[in-house]
């Protein structure tokens, strides 16, 4: 498993159970500095990647009083992980298996997990199948019920957005798609988001995921109720849980968030003010909420 020092983190490569090369960023302070604290593992959304977590990972790994090892993972077909020739493998079950493989490859027996959107859905499956891995969980704007309206918005902008010719245009495209729900963001925030979402190929920004992932959303029948994961969510009942919900989200309803609180007696709720789906974890009061939550964990 080769790695390279990229400044602030090490790049790690490991192999999935079916032979794909997968990628992780490993923000690993000196082991003595972590004083036995459990690592934090970050799982990104549907078409997102490790760069989404970079500002938060730096904050947590360089914390003056309680630094932690932070690992951010690129799912297959995203970021620096290999694209899968079998497009049917872009599913929650296979991707949950990849997380288990990553833990084994990176020497993690138990951790605190952060799951943004699809990453949080994957954590529902891991809670049901490998609860021994979960010390605590942070769900970022996701729960056991996905609202069709929110999924339709994701489908439409992934498949319908114009392709930017330069980095200024990339920031403009993101603001066009998300500006109404992310009123907290300024110009520099949109540029930073563009650098997280797009890959630089010859000076031009290109979406950093296998297009088949977005294409698959076109076949989802949103006129029918989507399957829920309440049974899997109930498997999280033994783990401390922090739920972050965007104030302007259309993917996680208030009704679902309230029901999650009723079912999970240890759930802590954090609103992401002036943000939609999915909230940026280094904005507003979210970093402080995450730090406070981590203090209660191992």
pLDDT of residue 225: 86
The structure tokens listed for 118 are 């699809």
pLDDT of residue 1: 43
The verdict on residue 187 lying in a domain is no
Side-chain-side CA neighbours of 42 within 13 Å: the count stands at: 29
Check if the beta carbon of residue 194 is closer than 8 Å to that of residue 170.
Answer: yes
- Euclidean distance between CA atoms 116 and 234, whole angstroms: 19
The structure tokens listed for 255 are 């009704």
pLDDT of residue 162: 85
Side-chain-side CA neighbours of 288 within 13 Å: the count stands at: 4
pLDDT of residue 35: 82
The verdict on residue 114 lying in a domain is yes
Listed in sequence order, the residues at least 6 apart from 9 whose beta carbon sits closer than 8 Å to its beta carbon are 25, 26, 27, 28, 57, 61
The structure tokens listed for 144 are 């056991």
Backbone angles phi, psi at 13, to 5 degrees: -125, 135
The structure tokens listed for 149 are 């309206």
The verdict on residue 261 lying in a domain is yes
The verdict on residue 209 lying in a domain is no
The verdict on residue 135 lying in a domain is yes
The verdict on residue 193 lying in a domain is no
The verdict on residue 165 lying in a domain is no
Residue the block writes with tokens 């498993």: 1
The verdict on residue 160 lying in a domain is no
CATH code, domain carrying 8: 3.40.50.1820
From the first residue on, what is the mean pLDDT of each consecutive set of 10 residues in the chain (298 residues)?
66 97 93 89 98 97 94 98 98 98 97 98 98 98 97 92 91 95 94 95 94 94 92 95 97 98 96 97 96 91
pLDDT of residue 243: 98
E-assigned strand segments in 84-177: 111-116, 134-140
- Euclidean distance between CA atoms 116 and 161, whole angstroms: 22
pLDDT of residue 161: 79
CA 257 vs CA 145, 162, 198, 272, 291: distances in Å: 9, 33, 31, 13, 21
Q: Look at the alpha carbons of 167, 170, 175, 181 in this order and tell me if their dihedral is positive or negative.
A: negative
Q: Containing domain of residue 19, as a range?
A: 3-146+229-295
Furthest-apart CA pair in the chain: how many Å?
54
* pTM summary value: 0.96
CA trace torsion 269, 273, 278, 280 (10° rounding): -100
The structure tokens listed for 251 are 């993917």
How many domains are contained in the chain? 1
């Amino acid at each position: 498993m080769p790695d390279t020092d990229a400044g602030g983190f090490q790049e790690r490569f490991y192999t999935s159970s079916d032979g794909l090369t997968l990628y992780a960023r490993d923000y690993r302070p000196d082991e003595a500095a972590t004083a036995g604290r459990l690592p934090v593992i970050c799982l990104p959304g549907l078409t997102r990647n490790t760069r989404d977590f970079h500002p938060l990972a730096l904050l947590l790994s360089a914390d003056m009083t309680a630094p932690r090892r932070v690992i951010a993972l690129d799912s297959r077909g995203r970021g620096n992980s290999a694209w899968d020739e079998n497009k049917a493998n872009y599913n929650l079950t296979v991707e949950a298996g990849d997380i288990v493989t990553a833990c084994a490859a990176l020497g993690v027996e138990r951790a605190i997990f952060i799951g943004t959107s699809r990453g949080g859905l994957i954590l529902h499956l891991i809670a049901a199948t490998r609860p021994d891995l979960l010390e605590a969980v942070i769900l970022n704007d996701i729960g056991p019920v996905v609202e069709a309206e929110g999924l339709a918005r994701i489908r439409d902008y992934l498949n319908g957005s114009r392709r930017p010719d330069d980095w200024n245009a990339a920031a403009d495209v993101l603001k066009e798609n998300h500006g109404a729900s992310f009123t907290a963001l300024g110009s520099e925030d949109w540029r930073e988001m563009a650098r997280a979402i797009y890959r630089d190929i010859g000076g031009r920004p290109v979406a950093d995921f296998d297009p088949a992932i977005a294409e698959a959303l076109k076949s989802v029948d949103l006129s029918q109720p989507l399957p829920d994961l309440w049974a899997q969510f109930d498997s999280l009942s033994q783990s401390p849980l922090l739920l972050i919900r965007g104030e302007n989200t259309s993917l996680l309803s208030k009704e679902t968030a309230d029901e999650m609180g009723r079912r999970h007696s240890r759930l802590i709720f954090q609103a992401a003010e002036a943000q939609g789906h999915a909230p940026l974890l280094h904005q507003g009061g979210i970093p402080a909420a995450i730090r406070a939550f981590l203090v209660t964990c191992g």
